[in-house]
Structure 1
Amino acid sequence: MNSSTEHDDAAAFTAYQESFAEAHGYLNFASYGPPSRTVRERVAHLLEIAGDGGADASETLHGEDLRAREAFAQLSGFPLENVGLTGSTSLGLFQVAFGLTGGSVLVSAGEFPANTYPWLRTSTAGRVRADLVGAPGTLLTPDVVARGLTDDTVAVSVSAVDFRTGYRADLPGIREAIGPDRLLVVDGIQAFGVADLEWTQADVLIAGAQKWVRAGWGVAAIAASPRAIERIDPLLTGWTGVTDSRRYDGEEHPPLPGAERFSISNLSPYATGAFAEALTLIESVGVPAIEGIVATHAQGLIEQLDAAGIQVLSPRERADSAGIVVAGIPGRAAEAHAALAEAAISTTLHGEDRIRFSVHATTRSEVFGEAATVLAPFA
């Protein structure tokens, strides 16, 4: 890399970091990522357009859908025609779950509930059977997947990053374990935009906007392979997901040929505009650059917790870091969590024994020592 390129990259990353202004002690990106200034400005601009009520306002506002789809396609590696939008990660998983029929779907009982309830509900409805394996804390490794497969397993559903520990799923390993004929459904919300994964190993990738992408609530992207589009019935497709959607003739229209068939109704252009802007901002520096800083920050936090005598329960390997660092504080986690909040440090309390930290590329490293100092008395 020449000096000019290095300078351009450094300038782009500086501009990226300066777009954000979250509180100094914010360490909770796995729950919600505060949007950037550029995202807020885009939403304000779209509201101005809506408020003016010009003749082309509706067309302009809903043009944000295409911007979001294009940016997601660029970052995920899926072709544009295989990328659609839906209201949330949970809604997308429900659409996939109720679109399958016959056989069973393998999913870990330790998943975040958004990736278990769709399968439980479709199982109750008699469309596919949910095979829940393991227990809370069980990681869906390729070996666990291989042992859980049966002759009637038609799909495996997994989170790209485990919400409880930060463990990254081995998507190529799982793909190899399940073979070419079963579908691999990936909940990408804890990883997309911050982890450089092989997304096209998935047959279905769903990722909401509000966490690491930092675009707020109200929209998710859903990308699907041709095989998935062929096998998933568009049972929960609405009027915006069919051909000739503005021909109101009282007839049922066929679903659109690509992933746009997962549309149920018009989405908020403020949500899709925020999504498009946030994805474009990520693209301006590249996921690998963001991932590298996040990994460095996670290691820095782990070192501070080690020095304070606090048990670390998440993966320590830099290659496995996805921004999540979990501190084990047996029996006193609630008290420690309250102490962190008193010090203006935002984290997530998990039960009686665990506190989850999650760092981003814009996190200030000084806060790691501050957090460790607060937790030291609980060691």
Structure 2
Amino acid sequence: MGPQKTAGGLPGYAEHFEEPEGYLDFARYGPPSRQVVAATAEALGRSARADHTTVNELMAAEVRARAAAARLAGTDAEHTVLLPNASTGLFHAAFGLPSGAVLVPAGDFPSNHYPWRRSAALGRAVPRWLEPDEQGRITPDTVKAALTDDVVALSVSAVDFRTGFRCDLAALRDVLGPDRLLVVDAIQGFGVLDLPWQAADVVVTGGQKWLRASWSTGFATLSDRALEWLEPVLTGWTGVADVALFDDREHEPVPGAGRWSVTNLSPVAGAALEAALLLVESVGVPAIAAHIEGRVDELIEAVRGGGGELLSPADPSERGGIVSFRLPGTASSRVAEALHAHGVTPTVRPDSLRLSAHASTPASAPTRVHEALASLR
């Protein structure tokens, strides 16, 4: 089935996608582009006709995808490694710290909790749960007030999955100073927000949400400080020197971010990630971000006009592409039914709903939200 959008998507970008015009669940999953679908099918098709050149040629997509990821993150390939998901990167970071306390937002997504719980259980770094301010935000002041001599790192989401609040990464870097690591889960912002990723020592992201590369894709970037401080506890056979030399001896981890490699990744996923990153790069993150900001403004207006209570920041400088709300006196399930009836796909939580727009979201999507909420009056 072809596109169902009306006019309004970002020219040169929206034309590559086919999701229905009311799809507003990008914070959960971003439907991939035609290029990603084609690259996946082509790589898998070639693997079915494999000869003596196929595997090496398919695996070259990883090299190209790593280079594209590095460019978008403002670093280089030596400081970048492909991963199957964001959680793998967070576990690498957590297990790499031998000791000390790590500040972790108490209300963060569980993927940023379990790695630190596991590292603590092994007698390594331990989490110290960071409570948000009165508005539910993790700010530089919040972090500064929690700093003690034993704190070695802060692990935080660039964009809060519940509210869409955007952390000030540059200010967090200043608060932490040069003697603590800044670990950032970028999955709710990379590719759609023009943030100073270089301020972080570790940036991890998965490709299935805003990057629209589908599942089993992702990467991490590591600063020189991270490479120096984090022990390569989870380094696998593909993350060492002389990887093709099978001499029954332990090899040293490679000096760059490649030491976070555990084993070979899927070259099919590598092709998908490459296609997704190149599309973002061709349009430009600032253009994508500007379109999303406009759609979020319209969604906020639709929510407020329908009597919804906004749970996300209204200030564009403090938010990503997420609009969370609740409708006082109406169960989230009932609101979801109305949205579904009007062709809108939200994220449904027990106590709230989340709308997340992308650069392919047309102007008709906020209109659908407005009509759905009006139908509940």
TM-score w.r.t. length of structure 2: 0.94
- Work out whether residues 22 and 364 of structure 2, in 8 Å CA contact, stay in contact via their aligned partners in 1: no
Partner of 2:349: 350
Partner of 1:177: 175
Q: Which letter maps to 2:220?
A: I
Partner of 1:4: none
- Work out whether residues 87 and 219 of structure 1, in 8 Å CA contact, stay in contact via their aligned partners in 2: yes
- Structure 1 position 45, deviation (Å): 1.3
Q: Extract unaligned runs of 5+ from structure 1.
A: 1-12
Residue 11 of structure 2 aligns to a residue in which SS? helix
Partner Cα separation in structure 1 for residue 375 and residue 50 of structure 2: 58
- Asked if residue 215 in structure 1 is aligned to residue 213 in structure 2, the reply is yes
Partner of 2:35: 38
- Asked if residue 336 in structure 1 is aligned to residue 335 in structure 2, the reply is yes
Q: Which letter maps to 2:207?
A: A
- Structure 1 position 118, deviation (Å): 0.7
Partner of 1:132: 129
Q: Extract unaligned runs of 5+ from structure 2.
A: 1-9
- Structure 1 position 342, deviation (Å): 3.1
- Structure 1 position 305, deviation (Å): 1.7
* Aligned residues with identical type, % of pairs: 44
- Asked if residue 48 in structure 1 is aligned to residue 45 in structure 2, the reply is yes
- Structure 1 position 304, deviation (Å): 1.6
Counterpart pick for 2:11 among 4, 10, 14: 14
CA RMSD of aligned residues (A): 1.6
- Work out whether residues 140 and 169 of structure 1, in 8 Å CA contact, stay in contact via their aligned partners in 2: yes
- Work out whether residues 238 and 265 of structure 1, in 8 Å CA contact, stay in contact via their aligned partners in 2: yes
- Equivalences for residues 116-195 of structure 1 within 5 A: 116-134=113-131, 138-195=136-193
Residue 13 of structure 2 aligns to a residue in which SS? helix
Partner Cα separation in structure 2 for residue 16 and residue 222 of structure 1: 25
- Structure 1 position 139, deviation (Å): 2.1
Counterpart pick for 1:104 among 82, 87, 101: 101
- Structure 1 position 291, deviation (Å): 0.1
- Work out whether residues 196 and 291 of structure 1, in 8 Å CA contact, stay in contact via their aligned partners in 2: yes
Partner Cα separation in structure 2 for residue 286 and residue 348 of structure 1: 27
Partner of 1:317: 315
Q: 1:341-369 deviations in whole A, cap 9, x for unaligned?
A: 233311111222x1000000101111212
Q: 1:290-335 deviations in whole A, cap 9, x for unaligned?
A: 0000000000111122222222111111233311111222451121
Partner Cα separation in structure 1 for residue 70 and residue 87 of structure 2: 20
Which structure ranks higher in relative contact order (CA pairs < 8 Å, sequence separation ≥ 6)? 2
Partner of 2:237: 239
- Work out whether residues 238 and 264 of structure 2, in 8 Å CA contact, stay in contact via their aligned partners in 1: yes
- Structure 1 position 377, deviation (Å): 4.9
Partner Cα separation in structure 1 for residue 365 and residue 136 of structure 2: 31
Partner Cα separation in structure 2 for residue 21 and residue 257 of structure 1: 42
Partner of 2:291: 293
- Work out whether residues 338 and 376 of structure 2, in 8 Å CA contact, stay in contact via their aligned partners in 1: no
Counterpart pick for 1:87 among 84, 101, 111: 84
Partner of 2:75: 78
Q: Which letter maps to 1:303?
A: E
Partner Cα separation in structure 2 for residue 246 and residue 269 of structure 1: 18
Partner Cα separation in structure 2 for residue 102 and residue 318 of structure 1: 38
Partner Cα separation in structure 1 for residue 101 and residue 136 of structure 2: 19
Residue 130 of structure 1 aligns to a residue in which SS? strand
Residue 319 of structure 1 aligns to a residue in which SS? helix
Q: 1:53-73 deviations in whole A, cap 9, x for unaligned?
A: 122111111111111111011
Partner of 1:5: none
- Work out whether residues 307 and 327 of structure 2, in 8 Å CA contact, stay in contact via their aligned partners in 1: no
TM-score w.r.t. length of structure 1: 0.94
Q: Which letter maps to 1:170?
A: D
**Farther off after superposition, 323-332 or 295-304:** 323-332
Runs ≥4 in structure 1, deviation > 3 angstroms? 135-138
Partner Cα separation in structure 2 for residue 116 and residue 133 of structure 1: 11
Q: Which letter maps to 1:53?
A: A
Aligned length: 367
- Structure 1 position 195, deviation (Å): 0.3
